[in-house]
Amino acid sequence: MQDPSTSGTNPAIPTTTTATGTAAAPLRTTSAGTSSSSSADAPTAASRPAIGSAYKTLLVTGATGTTGYEVLKQLTTEYRGRFRVVAGVHARGEEAADVLSDVDVIKRIDADDLRTLNFEGIDILFIIPSNAENRVEQVRNYVNAAKRDGVKYILLLSVVLSEARDNLFAIQFHDMERFVSDSGIPCTFLRCTFFMENLFAHADEVRLRSTLSLPIGRGKCAPVSVVDVARAACAILNQATLHTRKAYDLVGPQLLDGPGIAASASRGLGRVITYADCSRDQFLDLYERQGVPHFLAAGFGDILELVAANKLANLETKTFFQDLTGHAPTTLDQFFREHADVFTATAEEMARPKLPPRPAEADLERYGIARGGSDVDRLAEDVYLVLRDLVRDRHDAVMFKREALRREEARLNRLLDMYEYMTDLAAADRRRYRELVAAPAARPRSGRGDDELRRYAEYEPYARGAEPVRGGGPSYAGRGGYY
């Protein structure tokens, strides 16, 4: 098997041709940038021809996913009538999705079973990998079925720096690209950076606390909108023969660090959003609490580690996307403005008591909250140890221990956040106890209200506002209602 990032001999491997006509290395083109060899290699929107009769039927996998949804919207509006569109869906019930109402054919496909995959009559296959942990094997099945059934062209949605193979996503998508290129089927790779839509996972903290936390610091990246990914993909599909043997890096128009992303949110939402650095563990915890599988959250974390190390800051942001699609790329300000309802709290939410950010699960376990307690004594001891180390490191700062000093300061801030979290949860429980005592008629008839009242009974001695006893507390495990 050949590596598409290094070989230029396989006719299916994405490459370009230089002005002299000799084969060059695989094309590296950025969403808003010119190609590394020649900007003339990318056909423009103005020169967009209708697709040839050889490529007529198009199947999109993952049709009801985030990217597939936007692709189908484009295909059934701007590109309506240019393809016979087949929407590939994975789960029962997806056939009723609104976005599928205008497609020509809805086809249920099982990516896990090569024997049942049938691509006969499909000319173009757009592979949008799923979020399943075995998605590499799923793409292998797609490619084998495409080769068996005579598919003429494949567009694969991939990730930037896939040839680096230094993180989970890079390894996965490198293998996917290799399967496609080794099939001998003409192909194109569309490699994307961090999606703006991933920021929906941060909607609660932006909406309720006007903060945005990411583990990237001053590292820079250019997030891209899924809408722009769909537009670029459709433009490529419409001119498949002209984009064969090319690989494009698709990035957004703005190169931003953490504070820059928060500034874009501030402009888009019309209020001040503050950036906060967080640890990788806190980032993973945020995503996993919203149902993102661990491997997928870890993959996002790997990408953001590359951002923090400024390994994505060298991807150009110029004019390629607009030349290809005829549209200006979506800015992050515009993204937040268009989705302001998601990132803006309702009047009812604003009236609720605000709690600090939920700590990482490891901290919840260490201080007993995950086991139904509240070990304030242990927290106080840890704070003392950190303060002791801070005094020592400040004294030795002239001896080049600044990095250790920063680590201790970050640890202290995390512990103080934990204390605030414990205190506010206890206060919330006291408020809830007073509500149940004051309004017994409002309790559910099922008896759940009585159960809840008994759960908070330990607050009775200080229900009028006294502080809870140190070292104990109610069970917070599985609460979930406050976040």
Tens-digit pLDDT profile for residues 308-357: 999 888 776 667 898 899 999 999 999 999 999 999 988 776 766 555 55
Sequence-ordered alpha helix ranges (H) in 274-351:
280-288, 294-308, 320-325, 332-338, 340-343, 347-351
Tens-digit pLDDT profile for residues 56-88: 899 999 988 889 999 999 999 999 889 999 999
Neighbours of 431 (CB within 10 A): 14
Q: Which of 17-21, 42-46, 351-355 has the highest mean pLDDT?
A: 351-355
Closest CA to 159 of 193, 198, 197, 196: 193
Structure tokens at 59: 């199947």
- Can you count the helices (H) and strands (E) in the chain? 17, 9
Backbone angles phi, psi at 195, to 5 degrees: -75, 135
- What is the average per-residue pLDDT within 169-174? 91
Q: Which of 133-142, 245-254, 377-386, 402-411 has the lowest mean pLDDT?
A: 402-411
Model confidence at 364: pLDDT above 90: no
Edge-to-edge strand list for the sheet holding 246-250: 105-108, 84-89, 57-60, 124-127, 153-159, 187-192, 246-250
Q: Which residues, other chains included, contact 19 with Cβ-Cβ below 8 Å and sequence gap of 6+?
A: 38
CB 254, CB 221: distance < 8 Å: no
- pTM for the full predicted model: 0.66
Distance, in Å, from the CA atom of 117 to the CA atom of 59, rounded to the nearest integer, reads 12
Confidence of residue 35 (pLDDT cuts 50, 70, 90): very low
Model confidence at 275: pLDDT above 90: yes
Distance, in Å, from the CA atom of 369 to the CA atom of 389, rounded to the nearest integer, reads 26
Q: Tell me the HSE value of 68 on the side-chain side, using a 13 A CA sphere.
A: 27
Q: Which residues, other chains included, contact 285 with Cβ-Cβ below 8 Å and sequence gap of 6+?
A: 358, 360, 361
Neighbours of 284 (CB within 10 A): 20
Q: Tell me the HSE value of 98 on the side-chain side, using a 13 A CA sphere.
A: 2
Model confidence at 375: pLDDT above 80: no
Environment class of 56 (CB within 10 Å of its CB; exposed 0-12, middle 13-18, buried 19+)? middle
Neighbours of 319 (CB within 10 A): 18
Q: Which of 273-277, 348-352, 456-460 has the lowest mean pLDDT?
A: 456-460
Give the residues across from 35 on adjacent strands. 29
Please give the helix or strand (H or E) that residue 192 lies within, else none.
strand 187-192
Backbone angles phi, psi at 147, to 5 degrees: -65, -40
pLDDT at residue 12, rounded to an integer: 42
CB 158, CB 188: distance < 8 Å: no
pLDDT at residue 392, rounded to an integer: 57
Q: Which residues, other chains included, contact 349 with Cβ-Cβ below 8 Å and sequence gap of 6+?
A: 207, 208
The C-alpha R_g of the chain, in whole angstroms, comes to 26
Model confidence at 262: pLDDT above 60: yes
Q: How far is CA 322 from the centre of its chain?
A: 24
Please give the helix or strand (H or E) that residue 29 lies within, else none.
none
Q: How far is CA 151 from CA 65, 71, 146, 182, 248, in A?
A: 23, 20, 5, 14, 22
Q: What is the largest CA-CA distance in the chain?
A: 86
Q: What percent of the chain has pLDDT over 90?
A: 40
Distance, in Å, from the CA atom of 324 to the CA atom of 120, rounded to the nearest integer, reads 30
Give the residues across from 224 on adjacent strands. 195
Distance, in Å, from the CA atom of 148 to the CA atom of 315, rounded to the nearest integer, reads 37
Average pLDDT value over all residues in the chain: 74
DSSP of 333-368, one letter per residue?
A: HHHHHHTHHHHS--HHHHHSPPPPPPPPHHHHHHTT
